[in-house]
Structure 1
Amino acid sequence: MMQGYVNESYEAVISIVVKNGTKVKPVNAVIDTGFTGFLSLSSAIIAELELPWSYRDRATLGDGSETLFDIYEASVIWDGQFREIEINSANTEPLLGMRMLRGYRLQVDTVEGGLVTIAALTDVI
């Protein structure tokens, strides 16, 4: 099980460690249930970690507009294990998407400072 918190803007936040070779960076990511990818990071963090570019993809944003994203590859520590994922380049705060949460239960105590828990469905059924 993983835990996070609800920030002062009532966003559910989880800390995640991103790794590329010997370069490691912890980031606080806002959980975005409207984002269908794994994780988005700014181009500055992607450059800092020297993440390898994989491909470019088209995505539809919440306002209905379409945009292109560069996709990179990285490892993250997720539920105590290394996991290879795709990283979307987006110049916003880090966002954790629904592909990352597949097979997990998300619970949020929606008060400032509230508890965010993410548990594997096999652990909660």
Structure 2
Amino acid sequence: MMTGWIDADCQAIVPLAVKHRGSFAPDASIEFLIDTGFTGYLSIPSAWVDRFGLSVIDIQRGITADGRAVYFETVDVTILWHDEPRVIRAQVLEEPLIGTRLLRSNQATIRWESGSTFEIHR
């Protein structure tokens, strides 16, 4: 089980531990926004690519919510998902997002009220 909360803007936030590549530094806990319109696994801001020592793996084509075709870089990042390390191919975008592919086969009941908490179960 994982726990998140609804922030003042009524956005669902989930903290995830992100592993520093090639470093003995402790994992960093990063707040990700659940975006049910994002069909990928995960996105991270470009500033984090350097911060976590990540290497660009690929450039992929995607379609934005407004229908535009765009190209974006991808990186492999290790996160803790339900307390298990998981390597995810993340898109390098502006915001840290959790997409519907990562949420697949999970269940969350969310009360969209600022300050409320929720759980994500397998």
Same fold (TM over 0.5): yes
Structure 1 position 36, deviation (Å): 1.1
Is structure 2 residue 39 aligned with structure 1 residue 36?
A: yes
Amino acid at match of 1:29: F
Is structure 2 residue 66 aligned with structure 1 residue 67?
A: no
1:14–1:116 CA contact under 8 A, matched in 2 = no
Q: Which moved more, 1:106-115 or 1:6-15?
A: 106-115
Q: Distance in 2 between matches of 1:87 and 1:26?
A: 16
Identity of matched residues, %:
29
Question: Secondary structure in 2 aligned to 1:74?
Answer: strand
Question: Secondary structure in 2 aligned to 1:10?
Answer: coil
Residue number in structure 1 paired with 2:52: 49
Q: Distance in 1 between matches of 2:29 and 2:52?
A: 11
Structure 1 position 116, deviation (Å): 2.1
Structure 2, unaligned stretches of length 5 or more? none
Aligned length in residues: 119
Residue number in structure 2 paired with 1:123: none
Is structure 2 residue 13 aligned with structure 1 residue 10?
A: no
1:22-52 Cα shifts (integer Å, max 9, x gaps): 2532210100011111111111011100112
Structure 1 position 99, deviation (Å): 1.2
Amino acid at match of 2:31: N
Q: Segments of 4+ in structure 1 off by > 6 A?
A: none
Structure with greater strand percent: 1
Structure 1, unaligned stretches of length 5 or more? 121-125
Is structure 2 residue 107 aligned with structure 1 residue 118?
A: no
CA RMSD of aligned residues (A): 1.1
TM-score normalised by length of structure 2: 0.92
Q: Distance in 1 between matches of 2:57 and 2:104?
A: 22
Q: Distance in 2 between matches of 1:3 and 1:97?
A: 16
